[in-house]
Amino acid sequence: MAAEQKPILIVGGGFGGLAAALALGQRGIPVQVFEGAPEFGAIGYGIQFGPNIFHVFDRLGISDEVKSVGDEPSALLMLDALNGDQVIRIPTGESFRERFNQQYLIVHRIDLHTVLLDACKKIDAIKLEPEAMMTTYQDHGDHVSIELEDGRSFTGSVLIGADGIGSTTRAQMIGDGDPLPNGYVAHRTIVPMETVTADVPRDVVVLWGGPGFHIVHYPLRHGTLFNIVAVFRSDNQAARGDVEAYRAELHETHKATQPEAKALIDMMDLERRFVVGDRDPIRHWHQGRVGLLGDAAHPTLQSLAQGAGMAIEDGLHLANLIHANGDDYETTFTQFAKDRYLRTARVTLESRYIWDFYHCDGIEREVRYQMYKDQNEADRFQCVSWLYDGFGFIDR
Ligand SMILES: Cc1cc2nc3c(=O)[nH]c(=O)nc-3n(C[C@H](O)[C@H](O)[C@H](O)COP(=O)(O)OP(=O)(O)OC[C@H]3O[C@@H](n4cnc5c(N)ncnc54)[C@H](O)[C@@H]3O)c2cc1C
């Protein structure tokens, strides 16, 4: 079979992999997506997106479906967890929509994933392979092949590694070891809204920042659910452990926080903790006929809430370039990284600065308050315009 007749292989059916598959499939380019989990799906927590994401969803024709499963908060609020003072407020209502031409979005990950998956299922050119964990790949010069854990193998014209922060594709291509843990862990919880006991605003995204910890919360599914993420510095990075010991550790971390923050902590499910980390940005994400996108290429801390946004932007842009350049994959992958590395590196690096900003203490904390107290709405919008104004997609 000639190389151009073979499908494009995508390893990883997360947001980035599915966005790429949908954008390719809509152009009639055959694509096969391999997902290691038994079913295509997402972990069951909330996720936030800036207005930049709608530049992609509009082009994929799924904005209405996405809006119908998500919600628009009225503001993004940062509070000082030690005294309850407001540090920053970015309104995300009418003036925000006018400035950025699109809305801010909070959505259940499963609901967004379902929208992408359903759109993919309607396209004959897209084949979805669940329970398909890739262990290794080979670049044969004019085509690629992959091996799965269960012994099956597949061939394609190129391979796109969209397999997340612990990417197997990246490990084989670049071999730069594990992601860099930053010393923090996260616990995530979703509860029915009517069970929320903490006296906190329910229609906004709130971040309580304190020395060495933060809590984020916001509503989901049209106000019926409440999503909480508690993040803090910890020497205990085990994914699972003694829940009572985890609780004691969180209470110690929050001993000086406001009663509302303590009430949120009491609602946390502590069964599972996630190690927080990223990687230093790099300029090149491909070798021969194999390329990376999303977290596999440029994982970031979650402080800007843009990791999935960048993965989805990547998916569309890479598909556009493949469509434009045909079988010239060297040009496609080279151009892709050239176009995307600075924007994604800025997300990674600004996320690190913001991480420190969330967690500062002492005089630094006082300076933080002073720096932002006099900012007006236009100043706030200006700070995020490089991100929320979106990426310059080629429409060809
Ligand atoms: C606490 C927390 C909060 C966050 N909040 C936000 C937010 O609000 N907004 C935002 O934009 N981002 C957020 N992020 C970041 C976001 O979750 C990631 O950046 C995003 O999921 C990356 O998408 P991806 O498609 O590149 O990878 P993933 O979503 O990780 O998908 C990779 C897929 O590949 C599969 N896979 C892995 N290895 C293999 C293999 N060998 N073979 C086959 N399949 C494989 C996995 O099962 C998975 O389905 C947050 C992250 C964390 C930890």
**Cα angle 104, 105, 109; round to 5:** 155
In this prediction, residues 268-296 reach a mean pLDDT of 96
Q: Which residue has the higher pLDDT, 395 or 2?
A: 395
HSE-CB for 331 with a 13 A CA cutoff: 9
In this prediction, residues 279-306 reach a mean pLDDT of 98
Classify residue 263 as exposed, middle or buried by CB count within 10 Å of its CB (0-12, 13-18, 19+).
middle
71 DSSP assignment: B
Q: What is the largest CA-CA distance in the chain?
A: 67
pLDDT score, position 78: 97
Of the pLDDT bands very low, low, confident and very high (cuts 50, 70, 90), residue 239 is confident
The answer to whether residue 219 sits within a structural domain is no
**Any bridge partners for residue 192, and if so which?**
225
Of the pLDDT bands very low, low, confident and very high (cuts 50, 70, 90), residue 396 is low
Q: Which of 163, 182, 218 to mutate to test the pocket of ligand 1 (most atoms within 8 A of CB)?
A: 163
Residue 118 CB neighbours (<10 A): 11
- The ligand 1 site (C-beta within 6 Å) comprises 11-17, 34-37, 47-49, 132-134, 162-164, 168, 186, 229, 274, 294-296, 302, 305-309, 311
* Nearest Cα residue to 333 out of 178, 192, 157, 205: 157
3-state helix, strand, coil in the chain (%, to 5): 40, 25, 35
State the DSSP string of 146-193.
EEETTS-EEEES-EEE---TT-HHHHHHT---S-EEEEEEEEEEEEEG
Taking the whole predicted model, whether its pTM rises above 0.75 is answered as yes
Q: Which of 10, 32, 47, 49 to mutate to test the pocket of ligand 1 (most atoms within 8 A of CB)?
A: 47
The answer to whether residue 258 sits within a structural domain is no
Residue pLDDT, tens place only, 320-354: 999 999 999 999 999 999 999 999 999 999 999 99
What whole-number distance in Å separates Cα of residue 367 and Cα of residue 263? Answer: 28
Which residues, other chains included, contact 395 with Cβ-Cβ below 8 Å and sequence gap of 6+? 59, 320
299 Cα to the center of ligand 1, angstroms: 9
Q: Which of 11, 15, 128 to mutate to test the pocket of ligand 1 (most atoms within 8 A of CB)?
A: 15
Q: How many domains is the chain partitioned into structurally?
A: 1
Alpha-helical regions (H) of the chain: 15-26, 53-60, 63-69, 94-100, 109-121, 168-173, 243-253, 259-266, 307-325, 329-358, 362-373, 377-388
The answer to whether residue 193 sits within a structural domain is no
In 3-state terms, what secondary structure has residue 359?
A: coil
Does the pLDDT value for residue 1 go beyond 50?
no
Q: What is the CATH number of the domain that holds 35?
A: 3.50.50.60
Residue pLDDT, tens place only, 350-373: 999 999 999 999 999 999 999 888
In this prediction, residues 215-238 reach a mean pLDDT of 95
User: Which is the closest atom of ligand 1 to the Cα of 293?
Assistant: 26
**Cα angle 260, 187, 294; round to 5:** 125
Do residues 292 and 164 make contact, with C-beta atoms less than 8 angstroms apart? no
The answer to whether residue 61 sits within a structural domain is yes
Do residues 132 and 245 make contact, with C-beta atoms less than 8 angstroms apart? no
Strands 274-278 and 225-233: unpaired
Q: Which of 34, 114, 231, 302 to mutate to test the pocket of ligand 1 (most atoms within 8 A of CB)?
A: 302
83 Cα to the center of ligand 1, angstroms: 34
Provide the mean pLDDT of the chain: 95
In this prediction, residues 90-94 reach a mean pLDDT of 96
pLDDT score, position 42: 86
Residue pLDDT, tens place only, 99-154: 999 999 999 999 999 999 999 999 999 999 999 999 999 999 999 999 999 999 99
The answer to whether residue 52 sits within a structural domain is yes
**Domain span holding position 80:** 3-178+278-388
Of the pLDDT bands very low, low, confident and very high (cuts 50, 70, 90), residue 2 is very low
197 Cα to the center of ligand 1, angstroms: 30
The answer to whether residue 169 sits within a structural domain is yes
14 Cα to the center of ligand 1, angstroms: 6
The answer to whether residue 248 sits within a structural domain is no
pLDDT score, position 44: 86
The amino acid at 191: V
The answer to whether residue 329 sits within a structural domain is yes
Query: What are the structure tokens assigned to 395, written together?
Result: 């429409």
Residue pLDDT, tens place only, 221-232: 999 999 999 999
Does the pLDDT value for residue 394 go beyond 90?
no
What whole-number distance in Å separates Cα of residue 234 and Cα of residue 289? Answer: 41
pLDDT score, position 259: 96
Residue pLDDT, tens place only, 24-80: 999 999 999 999 999 999 888 999 999 999 999 999 999 999 999 999 999 999 999
pLDDT score, position 238: 82
Does the pLDDT value for residue 244 go beyond 80?
yes
Residue pLDDT, tens place only, 192-214: 999 999 999 999 999 999 999 99
How many angstroms separate the first and last alpha carbons of the chain? Answer: 27
Of the pLDDT bands very low, low, confident and very high (cuts 50, 70, 90), residue 94 is very high
Does the pLDDT value for residue 3 go beyond 70?
no
Does the pLDDT value for residue 5 go beyond 80?
no
89 DSSP assignment: E
**Cα angle 321, 327, 332; round to 5:** 30
